[in-house]
Structure 1
Amino acid sequence: MATTNRAAGAKTTLQKASQAVGAVFLLVGVLGFIPGITSNYEALSFAGHGSGALLLGIFQVSVLHNIVHLLFGVAGILMSRTHGQARSYLLYGGVIYLVLWLYGLITGHDTPVNFVPVNTADNWLHFILGIGMIALAIMLSRNTRTTRTATR
């Protein structure tokens, strides 16, 4: 049985993965608010399918969408503190992203139900993220070895 309490500075590969995924979500959330990286920035709305802003010119975003990325990123970083929480973040976060993928497939892109908003590129990214996060949770939870981080 894997222990959930680790020595200070010791992290499992699973915890590092959770921290990295969280950092990427945090970065994406910030980038969604930067004109130039987000094209049509002037069309960024708080929520809804009418937001015309595109992160990297591909992924439809809104203020709400960016805030969700920021919160999801903070959750990943905070939950990387313990092995069990890191596993839960990756596993259940992956499930959430698969549900978002289904939501995006079922709802029309130009309907009021698409409040997040999502487009086709978002849908497939959500699918890849969901599968990837679940795979990380399953594969890395078997490896409970810790590594020491350098301290000064």
Structure 2
Amino acid sequence: MSSDPTPEPATGWLALPRCRVGGQLLPLVLLHPRYGIAIQGGPPDAVALLHQRLERARFPAIFPGSLPVVRTAPDQPPETGFDPNVPLDLPGGDAWLTCARRALERDAPQGEMVPIPARRRRHRRARRLAIAAGLAALLIGGVTLSILESVPAQSSLVTAPPS
């Protein structure tokens, strides 16, 4: 791949040459902020391979919506492959370009995605005992206060004898 694939100012297409996706080589992948992604040449299943790569990069979770991806002939202008009835509909403006570019420039792991198990919490028993002790102290304090409030207050003042 080229070191700095910047968009051509006249067309706005960001060119990523020689992308390796799913063990296949895509000769040219073009990204456009208004159209989507165009693959020029490559294997017949290039669109499916590109969607799989974006799935592995969690692209749909970051940018939910519609991202048109088409495969065109190498000599065909990329704009002609897009259906005007299926517009690009992703949140965040053109921020999706950076995310898609990073996903396509790097080789993704080829294995199955496996969920990572949550870490087991340490000291569960101690935590439960501390909660139980706190609740017991709260209960005892409440009972004590209710007993003290129910006993009538006695005055310790002694009145002076009348003179």
TM-score normalised by L of structure 2: 0.22
TM-score normalised by L of structure 1: 0.23
More strand, by proportion: 2
